[in-house]
Amino acid sequence: MKPPRILLLGKEDSVLTNVLATLQAAGFDAEGTTQFATVHDDFDARNFTLIGLGGAFSDEQRRELRVAFQAQSPTVRVLDLFAPVLLPQLQYLTNPAAQPPMVNHITTTWAEGELCVELRARVACPVTVTLYDFARQSAVLTVFEGTLPAGTTQLKVQQQPGEGFPHFLVVQTTSGEVQVHRFAV
């Protein structure tokens, strides 16, 4: 079976180069660019199965990229990807045998000095929930590790995230599912 064709868009050449090398070594057919201004002239969404947006793009840039790529190809998947978990994230997203997500809802709210994480699991599942806080010099905090019960679970994080972007909450199951939730405080 032919591997899916992937286009990655990032902001930093060094990160993109490393990520592409990792993906290509794992057998992915991947290309990448940091040329935001000309990406739609340089690449056609119809030539890709999936287009991944790196974490450093603003919300406005993300919207612009999604709209323009989906105008080229309404069926292309344009997704937020996150370099520290990119390989398992893409292995999950491109696996034709993958089951529907076990964790199907992730939200974050900031109130009264606490970060509240709300997760909804379709079924009980073992997970690791990790907070990546790049406003604090790439701080990484394991928020939860264990079995998430079916239904809605709220987790409170006492460590105050740094202000601004980017923050990423990564939920990984032992079955290979990887969910990434990008947020600001």
103-183: CATH, from 1.10.3720.10, 2.60.40.10, 3.30.70.100, 2.102.10.10: 2.60.40.10
pLDDT in tens, 123-169: 999 999 999 877 656 688 899 999 999 999 999 987 666 666 678 89
Give the dihedral sign, CA 59/44/97/84. negative
As a whole number of angstroms, the distance between CA 53 and CA 75 comes to 16
Give the dihedral sign, CA 65/68/72/74. positive
Complete DSSP assignment for 7-21: EEE-S-HHHHHHHHH
Per-residue pLDDT of the chain (185 residues; tens, 9 = 90+): 577 899 999 989 999 999 999 999 999 999 999 998 899 889 999 999 999 998 888 889 999 999 999 999 999 999 989 989 999 999 998 887 878 899 989 999 887 778 899 999 999 999 999 998 776 566 888 999 999 999 999 999 876 666 666 788 999 999 899 999 988 77
The domain spans of the chain are: 5-93, 103-183
The pLDDT assigned to 25 comes to 94
Class in CATH terms, 5-93? alpha beta
Equal fold, 5-93 vs 103-183: no
